[in-house]
Amino acid sequence: MDRNEALKVIYAFRNGIPPESRVSLFTVGRQTELEELTRLFDGEGGLLLQANSGSGKTHLFRFLREKALADGFAVGSITLDSSAEVKLNRMDQIVAAVFRDIQLPGMEERGIRAFFDTLCRQISDARYSRDPENFWTRLTNDWKWDSSDLLQSPALYIALRAWSCGGDSEKDLIEDWLSYPWNYYTNRKDLHRRLIADMKAHFKDPRPPSALLDVRAGTFNFQEPGYVQSWAALSDLRTLSKGAGFKDFILLFDEVEDIIYNLGNLKWQQIAFRNLLRFFSSDGIGVKSFFAVTPDFEQKCRELLVKREKWSEEFAPLESLPRFRISPLGAEELKELAGRIAEVHGTAYEWEDKVKEALPEIETIVDRLSASPEADRTRQTVKAIVEHLDQAYEDTE
């Protein structure tokens, strides 16, 4: 780890949050649990990941993302935030968040541009093979690009087709459209002109303009009718990921309590709960989906709906969703983590030779704080470790 990356890691820990990268380096203890959890990458449906707030929930989320990428999975990461247009009642916002942040194994770049570029390199290579059984030959209908029975979302098919056939201006438009689709709900004619009509030389789309622009058809709309196309697009991302040779496609949801605490409208909360249940349903989209929650999440959901007189059999499955509980870190595990943080702190501030002198007192701090009954003791312990290292470093100056 170089100094710049080490500084970023220490900055994250100083604020009580896990780093964006190298999370596995700071993942200590619970080895058996984590191995069991990563085996669950294979399969379908949803899973609640239970950990106390401030005791590793977000760390676990980022560890799973890092591990999934290392194991060859494409990953869509979503942090729910009702104040930033990522609400679980709005599936167009969810799929847009995935488009903005989808990650592929071995690539630093993320987002729909990196994803489509990867697909189109394979499409270009496959075009010269003329293998009728090739996935891309089937997807493009033998390179006619007129229709496909492999994808469910017309919008995603049109976007990939235009990306494959178009230039930089079309790609810029597609990236913006898929990343913020609500900005284009009243501008469908321009999408039709630039992504279909102006590109007719590259393919023949048999559908008339009236069909594509029909509000009821929702060809360019990820919101109507009933977010059908948003759900279809998530399923299609799995199809495309596997077609491109990745092991599968996984969705990771963080800050799921946003539904309870920040999504104030009762109708929206009910829709969000229905959407959550669909990820777990046997007739859902089939994508393996992990939801980082606190251990009492299901109880909070029930209490909210009961209090507002909306609890019913429809929401009863919220109490029995598949779950995986992660144990909190103990004192010895936190001491191991402290040693790793200290090593990176030494790299960040170039005092590797002296940083070990701060470890004995850090162990005392860990012993004291790890015995705290507070749910967020891990977070507070990590912040205290970095605070002590910062002070020890200043004392050497």
What is the SS3 assignment for 113-173?
Answer: HHHHHHHHHHHHHHHCCCCCCCHHHHHCCCCCCCCCCCCCCHHHHHHHHHHHHCCHHHHHH
Which one of 7-11, 34-38, 42-46 scores highest in mean pLDDT? Answer: 7-11
For residue 26, give the H/E element and its range.
Answer: none
Which one of 25-39, 48-62, 115-129, 205-219 scores highest in mean pLDDT? Answer: 115-129
236 contacts 152 by C-beta, under 8 angstroms: yes
120 SS3 class: helix
Q: What is the DSSP letter of 103?
A: B
207 vs 220, which has greater pLDDT? 220
Radius of gyration of the chain (CA): 24
pLDDT of residue 192 exceeding 80, the answer is: yes
pLDDT of residue 208 exceeding 80, the answer is: no
pLDDT of residue 276 exceeding 60, the answer is: yes
112 contacts 102 by C-beta, under 8 angstroms: yes
pLDDT of residue 360 exceeding 70, the answer is: yes
In 3D space, the residue among 49, 65, 63 whose CA is nearest the CA of residue 101 turns out to be: 65
pLDDT of residue 213 exceeding 60, the answer is: yes
- Mean pLDDT within 168-196: 94
In angstroms, the CA 245 to CA 160 distance is 17
Up-side HSE of residue 258: CA atoms within 13 Å toward CB? 20
- Phi–psi pair at 277, nearest 5 degrees: -60, -30
Provide the residue ranges of all domains of the chain, joining segments of one domain with +: 1-28+329-397, 30-328
For residue 260, give the H/E element and its range.
Answer: helix 258-261
For residue 47, give the H/E element and its range.
Answer: strand 46-50
pLDDT of residue 117 exceeding 90, the answer is: yes
Tokens 């690009």 identify what position? 145
pLDDT of residue 46 exceeding 80, the answer is: yes
Confidence of residue 272 (pLDDT cuts 50, 70, 90): very high
pLDDT of residue 212 exceeding 70, the answer is: no
Q: Is the dihedral of CA 257, 261, 262, 263 positive or negative?
A: positive
Q: What share of the chain has pLDDT > 70, as a percent?
A: 96
Non-local (6+) Cβ contacts of 357 within 8 A are: 392
In angstroms, the CA 42 to CA 123 distance is 26
Mean residue pLDDT of the chain comes to 90
- Give the per-residue pLDDT at 147: 85
- Mean pLDDT within 64-77: 95
Side-by-side strand order, sheet with 249-254: 74-79, 249-254, 288-293, 46-50, 323-325
State which amino acid sits at residue 198: D
Which of 2-11, 219-228, 252-261, 369-378 is least confident? 369-378
pLDDT of residue 215 exceeding 60, the answer is: no
pLDDT tens digit sequence for 315-349: 999 999 999 988 888 889 889 999 999 999 999 99
pLDDT of residue 217 exceeding 70, the answer is: no
Query: ∠ CA 287-289-295 to the nearest 5 degrees?
Result: 160
Tokens 């909190």 identify what position? 328
Q: What share of the chain has pLDDT > 90, as a percent?
A: 60
Which of 98-107, 358-367, 368-377 is least confident? 368-377
Up-side HSE of residue 313: CA atoms within 13 Å toward CB? 0
- Phi–psi pair at 47, nearest 5 degrees: -150, 130
What are the CA-CA distances from residue 364 to residues 16, 191, 336, 341, 354 (Å)?
19, 62, 13, 16, 18
Q: Is the dihedral of CA 101, 269, 274, 222 positive or negative?
A: negative
215 SS3 class: coil
Tokens 């709005």 identify what position? 90
- Give the per-residue pLDDT at 55: 63
